[in-house]
Amino acid sequence: MKPQTPPKTYRVKSFGCQMNVYDGERMAELLGEKGLHSAPEGEEADLVVLNTCHIREKAAEKVYSDIGRLVKAGEEAGKAPMIAVAGCVAQAEGEEIMARAPAVSMVVGPQAYHRLPEMLDKAVQGERASDTDMPAIAKFDSLPQRTRRSPTAFLTVQEGCDKFCTYCVVPYTRGAEISRPFGDLIAEARRLIEAGAREITLLGQNVNAWAGEDDKGHDVGLGGLIHALARLDGLERIRYTTSHPNDMDDALIAAHGEVDKLMPYLHLPVQSGNDRVLKAMNRAHTAESYMRLLERFRAVRPDIALSGDFIVGFPGETEAEFEDTLRIVDEVRYAQAFSFKYSPRPGTPAATMVGQIAREVMDDRLQRLQARLNRDQLAFNEASVGKTCSVLIERKGKHPGQWLGKSPWLQSVWFEGEAAIGDLVEVELLEAGPNSVMGRPLATVSA
């Protein structure tokens, strides 16, 4: 590779989960510290970071076609951008990317992106660089201070996964479970609040596996961390995602009844409602134990909004087994949910299991499942009509005077009136749609 002009502007494109978005923000902060500026909307950037996701379908092909598009646009403009591939595809297929895509200057895995600035120096000198090491906590220690300004912020507290569900790539792309230290998290939360965050969402691949020692030297879990964060002035709302049923403990459940700032929302994936399928997935919980857990949350927080993830068409799933998933949906009545067709991921045990399900069968099952999930989401929104709740304003609507934000139950709420981004407004909910609720502002609780 020839030496390249040092890039002045960058763009980070994140394609994955919320943690991937968080990583994208941290990479942007690193590049900012290095003196680069975010490319203005609509302008080509000198450096493009493709922050990829490997969870489902054709992730790698999408990366190659994105690279192809960037190269072509660069040729037409007479100036090719420098390209970095980051995220979970970089981790899983780093070597192939280096071999197959000569236009890529840097490949950097999710546990190594703190080294992006050094890699950039090398790339400028014409030396391609790849780093997919997993040095665990070192990354967070060498990242710059948070600079992102927004009323809502993500904070990664836990990373990695030791669960090895048989369909999933995450344990391979993100590595073993680690918890960031309590003190570091309180410090990062403080800086996010100083920069304007009023709501913080704690992130982890298994966020409720977080464990640490608090400032008094006591061993605490996520419930203890949430109690400590709730004491920070200026922080109004706390959320967390994604939890695993097997990592739930009493303190976290109790926190939902004790901490006002902890929002009444729980995302707890079940994947399937059938115990044979759950076992083949290596989920280590049953449909029944999952239901009992949800009851405990509802006992301390009756209005809690529940959300889940589902996979249809796992290898060997019969029609009757799929119907158990429909049954669990009918029992729980989710406020929101994410449902996916099973996607065989290279290197995972399920990819080579017998009984791979035909695409048409998966399509049909997904459609039937989603019809029920949509029904329940609308019903949840309709049941909230007439309630008054706080809405944290995140952005302006399409029309002048229109504002959009989130209810405590993570519904999108919009209204017309006087407000500003970051305000907490008391809103009466008036009219429900499938994806949002319209309301009327009563008062600004805090600006």
Binding residues for ligand F3S (CB under 6 A): 16-17, 19-20, 53-55, 87-88, 169-170, 173-174
Minimum CB–partner distance for residue 205 and ligand F3S (Å): 6
What is the torsion angle, in degrees rounded to the nearest 10, for the CA atoms of residue 48, residue 53, residue 58 and residue 62?
-10
Residue 395: beta bridge partners? 404
The answer to the question of residue 432 lying near ligand SF4 (CB under 6 A) is no
* Shorter beta-carbon distance to ligand F3S: residue 168 or 278: 168
Q: Give which of ligand F3S, ligand SF4, ligand SAH, none residue 56 binds (C-beta under 5 to 8 Å, depending on kind).
A: ligand SAH
Cα–Cα nearest to 271, from 245, 297, 295, 292: 245
Minimum CB–partner distance for residue 21 and ligand SF4 (Å): 16
The residue from 84, 104, 170, 200 that contacts ligand SF4 (CB under 6 A) is: 170
User: Helices 182-194 & 222-230, crossing angle to 10 degrees?
Assistant: 40
The answer to the question of residue 90 lying near ligand SAH (CB under 6 A) is no
Q: Which residues contact 313 (CB under 8 A, 6 or more apart)?
A: 341, 342, 357, 361, 362, 365, 366
Minimum CB–partner distance for residue 271 and ligand SAH (Å): 6
Q: Which residues contact 348 (CB under 8 A, 6 or more apart)?
A: 166, 167, 168, 169, 172
The answer to the question of residue 244 lying near ligand SF4 (CB under 6 A) is yes
Minimum CB–partner distance for residue 159 and ligand F3S (Å): 9
Question: 161 exposed, middle or buried (CB, 10 Å; 0-12, 13-18, 19+)?
Answer: buried
* Shorter beta-carbon distance to ligand F3S: residue 23 or 423: 23
Cα–Cα nearest to 259, from 217, 299, 300, 207: 300
3-state secondary structure of 270: coil
Residue 52: beta bridge partners? 87
CA atoms within 13 A on the CB side of 164: 5
* Shorter beta-carbon distance to ligand SF4: residue 139 or 244: 244
The residue from 113, 297, 322, 342 that contacts ligand SAH (CB under 6 A) is: 342
Q: Give which of ligand F3S, ligand SAH, ligand SF4, none residue 312 binds (C-beta under 5 to 8 Å, depending on kind).
A: none
CB 386 within 8 A of CB 396: no
CA atoms within 13 A on the CB side of 128: 17
* Candidates 164-172, 230-238, 321-329, 402-410; binding stretch for ligand SAH (CB under 6 A): 164-172
Q: Which residues contact 324 (CB under 8 A, 6 or more apart)?
A: 272, 273, 274, 277, 287
The answer to the question of residue 242 lying near ligand SAH (CB under 6 A) is yes
Minimum CB–partner distance for residue 112 and ligand SAH (Å): 21
The answer to the question of residue 92 lying near ligand SF4 (CB under 6 A) is no
The answer to the question of residue 20 lying near ligand SAH (CB under 6 A) is no
* Candidates 27-35, 131-139, 341-349, 427-435; binding stretch for ligand SAH (CB under 6 A): 341-349
For 74, other C-beta atoms within 10 Å of its C-beta total 17
Question: 217 exposed, middle or buried (CB, 10 Å; 0-12, 13-18, 19+)?
Answer: exposed
* Shorter beta-carbon distance to ligand SF4: residue 80 or 172: 172
The answer to the question of residue 285 lying near ligand SAH (CB under 6 A) is no
Q: Which residues would be at the binding site for ligand SF4 (CB under 6 A)?
A: 161, 163-165, 168, 170-171, 205-206, 244
Q: Which residues would be at the binding site for ligand SAH (CB under 6 A)?
A: 55-56, 161, 167-168, 170, 205-206, 242, 244, 269, 271, 309, 311, 340, 342-343, 345
